[in-house]
Amino acid sequence: MVSSVLCRCVASPPPDAAAAASSSASSPASVGDPCGGAICGDPDHRLRLWRLFQTLDVNRDGGLCVNDLAVGLRRLGLHRTEGELRKIVQAGDKDLDGQLDFEEFVHYLQDHEKKLRLVFKSLDKKNDGRIDAQEIMQSLRDLGVKISEQQAEKILKRIRTGHFWGPVTYMDKNGTMTIDWNEWRDYHLLHPVENIPEIILYWKHSTIFDVGENLTVPDEFTVEERQTGMWWRHLVAGGGAGAVSRTCTAPLDRLKVLMQVHASRSNNMGIIGGFTQMIREGGARSLWRGNGINVLKIAPESAIKFMAYEQIKRLVGSDQETLRIHERLVAGSLAGAIAQSSIYPMEVLKTRMALRKTGQYSGMLDCARRILAREGVAAFYKGYVPNMLGIIPYAGIDLAVYETLKNAWLQRYAVNSADPGVFVLLACGTMSSTCGQLASYPLALVRTRMQAQASIEGAPEVTMSSLFKQILRTEGAFGLYRGLAPNFMKVIPAVSISYVVYENLKITLGVQSR
């Protein structure tokens, strides 16, 4: 059995074992012990892993392919589907040759065991090294699923399947109605447990953070959240948080739009000068022009994006609860494009309302009616192309930076819990959103200028490419980043406000904070 190659230095890891073991993490002699998911000090452990590798390498070619794993694990009494085995190979195959060499196999086991330990520790509420029926009930209750003690005992016995770590058979080998670390680890070590609900729950990103540009890839929700309806409560809480956040930072957002459209070398509009100009022209209330429709578009955009994302996930063909990074990027970008296409006329209205002078329009409907009468339906889609092109760099870099920071934190600091804490979550979200905005900002500026064309007297009709050339010729590369200062100034308050409001709305809506 697989357990014969694994370290048995302790039956269940004490709370401080991981910290003690982490100091030896650089040792090349061994890999992946149960004591905290770090590096075991047993010098024979790597040899035992080599023997397991040879047992699984049925065709003796020095690599483990899907067929090798299927035959080898069957000989050890473990049965896995082809899809599960393919996930194992894909997770560990660093050189993309379709198989695992010994070093890739060792690294896969090491990384996978750390994930398993996070799940085990999240279930082990009593911190006694064992999972019992009460802890199963509490963990599922935290995920929004209520079960009886009898049902929890059935889960421990593995009589029924369908729970969140996947169907297994008789994990409780000794019949004690509890599962210790060794029983948990022995079964799952060569089972592709990629979807850890604790990590999904703790590391919400796009649902929580609203910096005014809703181009992020949607968050994943666990099966339990979708089945119990918790997902819509998260979305409502996120929408409410975004509304408050956007309202609080609206003056900076309007200043950004004014600088994007009107600032130039001859009109060097600064932050203080811009605020002074707005207040002098329309009073303090004018600082919030365009905010109403900016808030109104949150609900339809979020709903359309979420529904589109769920449908595209099915088209991608993944049978996992969560997608891999590149699949999330594709599905999220397509969902964002669909949502943006649906509500894009509201984006144009938001820009026109932000740029309007006192008395120019009586409201949003009057603005829409006048645009339609003077410029036709096409005016509501000006700047559409650069807006769509901006989705890919924004969503891609935001997702990549966030996942990189998240994985770096999990690998380095997640010993007993996947909970990063408020400060880490805010820091990762702020940095990733800032990087995404920085990458897509030139396209956002060109989009805003195209949306504002008719509001500027005597402005010629321009295309995206000609506008890029004109800005570079007259203002240089710096011209593509007009308004960047107020845009970045609003990121930290926007993220902080949206997080605080989100957490309070979750409590109001009955979503338990972890």
Q: What is the pLDDT of residues 271-306, one digit of tens each?
A: 898 999 999 998 999 999 999 999 999 888 888 888
- Give pTM, 2 decimals: 0.61
| pLDDT tens-digit readout, 195-208 | 445 455 555 555 55
pLDDT at 293: 93
Determine the Cα–Cα distance for residues 39 and 132; give it in Å rounded to an integer.
27
In whole angstroms, how far apart are CA 290 and each of 254, 296, 303? Answer: 7, 10, 21
Confidence of residue 161 (pLDDT cuts 50, 70, 90): very low
Query: Which three-class secondary structure string do you get for 92-117?
Result: HCCCCCCCECHHHHHHHHHHHHHHHH
For residue 228, pLDDT beyond 70: no
Quick check: 399 and 216 in contact, CB under 8 A? yes
| pLDDT tens-digit readout, 399-450 | 788 878 877 776 677 555 556 667 787 888 888 888 888 989 999 999 999 9
| Residues in Cβ contact with 485 at an 8 Å cutoff, skipping those fewer than 6 apart | 271
For residue 169, pLDDT beyond 70: no
Confidence of residue 349 (pLDDT cuts 50, 70, 90): very high
For residue 259, pLDDT beyond 50: yes
Mean pLDDT of all residues in 79-100: 83
Determine the Cα–Cα distance for residues 274 and 475; give it in Å rounded to an integer.
19
Determine the Cα–Cα distance for residues 91 and 105; give it in Å rounded to an integer.
10
Burial of 303 (0-12, 13-18, 19+ CB in 10 A): middle
pLDDT at 254: 94
| Residues in Cβ contact with 425 at an 8 Å cutoff, skipping those fewer than 6 apart | 202, 203, 208, 499
In CATH terms, the fold of domain 46-206 is Recoverin; domain 1 (1.10.238)
What proportions of the chain, in percent to the nearest 5, are helix, strand and coil? 65, 0, 35
Mean pLDDT of all residues in 467-484: 91
pLDDT at 383: 92
Give the H/E segment covering residue 42.
none
Mean pLDDT of all residues in 326-348: 87
* Alpha helices (runs of H) in 160-208, residue ranges in sequence order: 181-188, 197-202
How many CB atoms sit inside 10 A of residue 419's CB? Answer: 17
The domains of the chain are located at: 46-206, 223-509
Instruction: Provide the b/e sequence for 76-86 (b: ≥16 CB within 10 Å).
Output: bebebeeebbb
Q: What average pLDDT does the structure give for the chain?
A: 75
Quick check: do 46-206 and 223-509 share a fold? no
Q: Please say whether the structural domain 223-509 has been given the CATH code 3.40.50.1860.
A: no
